[in-house]
Amino acid sequence: MAIETGTATPATSAATHGLPVKWRVLISGFMSYAFDALDFMILAMSLPLIIKELDITMADAGLLGTATLLGVGISSIAMGWFADNYGRKTALMVGIAIFGLFTAAIGFAQGYWSIMALRFIAGLGLGGIWGVIAAFINETWPSHQSGRAASFVFSSWPIGFGSAALLAGFILPRYGWRVLFFCGAAALLAVAYTYVFVPESETWKKAKAEREAGGGAKASVGIGEIFAPEVLHYTIVGTLSASFALIAYWGVNTWVPTFLVKERGMAIADMSMFIVMLNVGMFLGYQLFGFLADTIGGKNALIINFVGATVMVPIYGFAESTTLLFWLGPVMALFFSYAGIFGSYFAKLYPLRIRSLGSGFCFDVGRGISAFAPFLLGQIAAHYSLAVGIALCGASFALAGVMVLMLPDTRGREAVD
């Protein structure tokens, strides 16, 4: 198998309309993933009020998060296939538009089941863009910078989360949860930027032209290709690693706002600032682990990340002092930055032909498998407490690290053909 050099093509590095293409891809990806996080976090921030207004249990509320993540799991396959066949730019815009519009539509929802249905549809857009962005970054940035570039782009996740927390602190006490969901439509700004300023990936266009010239079955990408013998191990183990990490992550982050309000007695406005601090730590973690991924390799950076999360999550769950929780939050969240490392690491496991599909499948099917984490933690909370449920998520982070040990070191590799 040949190994690509990872050098950006002239088309991707030449400056057109001002910024070089790779920087415009970086900006588009950063904006898109920030709005992705904003729309995800709007639900978590609204849950205490939704539970009260609709008179539902915490387990029922957890199912709203589950519906989102089920949509995400389906989206990873559909959007990855779409991006590999029809382009990174088009797939990115479609995904953003779906989650932005249907998140805003929840503001008009008339009951529990309509919220669940709209949340599922929004998830169909939310999930697909991770793999698209990962492929786009790896096709416009050289190999020795791709870890930092991907981590920087995906570090927009805590920016989106923190923005949702700030918006919630202002909007929820004054206008209620429906107005907060209307803010999801702001994601259309990322669609506009991508449409106007970001060209299609030249690497993808060249690969597509070569496929079409060859004709036959190779003209289009099939979902079954990520289960071919030469990449099957990567697909299975990579998906398991992402699944365990995301089970822990969504178990913690869906319920932390409710945990702080119901079990630690905070007002919603105070809780919002604690969430902002948590996301400051996550943003710094993305930068730190992006640098480590390019220095010591994505595999080693992921292992350090998961060891830290395994230790810190139970400590946070059982902390009772509000001062301690305020400072433990950002320290714990330093180790929630695995998505940025996965962005460059998974993309290097697969040939260019199935890069978006393969990397997106591993990460977003992992999101889909993690769909029941919010519901299960709601059940644990009903019988024990949210503190116990959050603490148990540390074990899932440990299992994610074990899976990473079974994957190869990809230092210096751009993609395999």
Q: What is the pLDDT of residues 62-84, one digit of tens each?
A: 788 788 878 877 887 788 788 88
CA nearest to 147, candidates 15, 316, 340: 340
| 1.20.1250.20, 3.40.640.10, 3.40.50.740, 3.10.20.340: CATH of 20-404 | 1.20.1250.20
Please report which confidence band the pLDDT of residue 19 belongs to, taking 50, 70 and 90 as the band edges.
Answer: confident
Which amino acid is present at 352? L
% pLDDT > 70, the chain: 93
Maximum CA extent, the chain: 65
CA-to-CA distance for 202 and 333, rounded, in angstroms?
Answer: 36
CA nearest to 43, candidates 191, 161, 186: 161
Here the tokens at position 120 are 């599922």
CA distances to 77, 261, 355, 357 from 347, rounded to whole Å, are 15, 39, 6, 9
CA-to-CA distance for 392 and 356, rounded, in angstroms?
Answer: 32
Average pLDDT for the chain: 84
CB-CB contact of 126 with 35 (8 Å): no
Report DSSP state, residue 7.
P
CA-to-CA distance for 122 and 287, rounded, in angstroms?
Answer: 28
CA-to-CA distance for 394 and 90, rounded, in angstroms?
Answer: 38
Q: Looking at the predicted structure, is the pLDDT value of residue 10 above 70?
A: no
- Within its chain, how far is the Cα of 371 from the centroid? 13
Q: Looking at the predicted structure, is the pLDDT value of residue 214 above 60?
A: yes
Mean pLDDT in residue range 129-147 = 81
Dihedral angle of Cα 134, 196, 79, 98, to the nearest 10 degrees: 120
Mean pLDDT in residue range 341-347 = 84
Residue pLDDT, tens place only, 27-53? 999 999 899 889 888 888 888 899 889
Highest mean pLDDT among 166-170, 243-247, 276-280: 243-247
Residue 215's pLDDT is: 62
3-state class (DSSP) for residue 5: coil
Report DSSP state, residue 240.
H
Which amino acid is present at 406? M
Residue 3: strand pairing partners:
416
Residue pLDDT, tens place only, 152-199? 888 888 888 778 888 988 899 899 999 999 999 999 999 999 999 999
What does pTM read for this prediction? 0.72
Residue 194's pLDDT is: 94
